[in-house]
Structure 1
Amino acid sequence: MNEHGRERFSPEPRNVYLTVPNLISVLRIISIPVIAALVVHHRMALALVVLTLSALSDGVDGFIARSFNQVTRMGQILDPVADRLLILCSVLALGMAGIIPLWMIVIVGLRDFVMGIQILVLAQHDYGPLPVNFVGKTGTAMLMVSIIVLIIADLIGGPAFLMLHTIGLAIGIWGVAVYWLAGLIYLRQGQDLIRTDR
């Protein structure tokens, strides 16, 4: 592996499995089918609570990992996987419940499919997943806010539904755009690493 690429994209993690951040990431993954089931069955209040806690846990595990030297190889894989699964499954559940349009499901799913292919390609060159950048975190945060607002809109109903639903969709559209922009940045970084190896 190219040492410059390692320093730039893959800080030296510990080869440890059982850490608090990893446990939080696993719990976030476990929460995903719970959230999906609650949304599909229109248990929006419970879905909102579980989703909010799950979304907040993303910042908590990262803070603990950096502050207490618990950055691990497993965590570098679990954290982005948990984020992507949470976004994708939440969007799918909202689509099945008729709360968001089909196009949002397709675009988010396509982006994550492309990123999955990139991870496989990088693995062939002995690189792990690329560290999450600020643009990626911003896109993920915007999508999470959009999902939460859409659930609140469906929960409240009445005259406020249209306004909140429109706001949620608007944030979602920008979130999808930033989410894809981050994906393009990751693709460029991956190409640079592979080109350096060659």
Structure 2
Amino acid sequence: MNGRFELAGLLPGQYLVELSAWDPPRSTPKPMDVTLPEGQDVEGLRIELPAAGEVRGTVRDAKGQPVRGASVALTGGKDRFGVSAADDGTFRIENVGVGEYRAEVQKGWEKLRAPGTSDDDVQGEKVEVRADAVVTVNLVVASASGKFREWCATNTERRWRTHSSGRRARRSARARPRAWRHARRGGRSASSPT
């Protein structure tokens, strides 16, 4: 393919020309305004893809075991990029636009945290992508196999929900001065009720 394109049958006027790249996905330039005069063609319009790099790495838990099926996302740039880690925990994201991103890990609906951090901490690793370069990032997350429970206190319902196992267990609801969340991971308390 030589990169040429033609848009035929357009009426005179202002147009916003936008490029999308899906296979493989990659960064694209900002849309450009183009004026099509009556009775004329616009020729020589040049759209250049921005410089891109590549991010490779691994996702492992605190014990050094690969986190199979984890999703790795690069956020914070103009575009969002993501892939699933292989069974050995490795991942590769190609054609990433030049700039700063944060590499974050998620498994299912749960965002995974670095060991020793809480939900209030900024998660993921800062990554700077340069043109025609490969950046390596090794992500370490707290165990992805522990159970996560949260206390739900609303006007109509007070119960414990257990995530990742799919089971729900009711517990007695003592009077609380206000709604609070109480998270547990692996049987240890991560926060205390007030």
The interval holding the TM-score normalised by the smaller chain is under 0.3
**Structure with greater helix percent:** 1
| Greater relative contact order structure (CA < 8 Å, 6+ sep) | 1
TM-score normalized by structure 2?
Answer: 0.26
**Structure with greater strand percent:** 2
Structure of larger gyration radius: 2
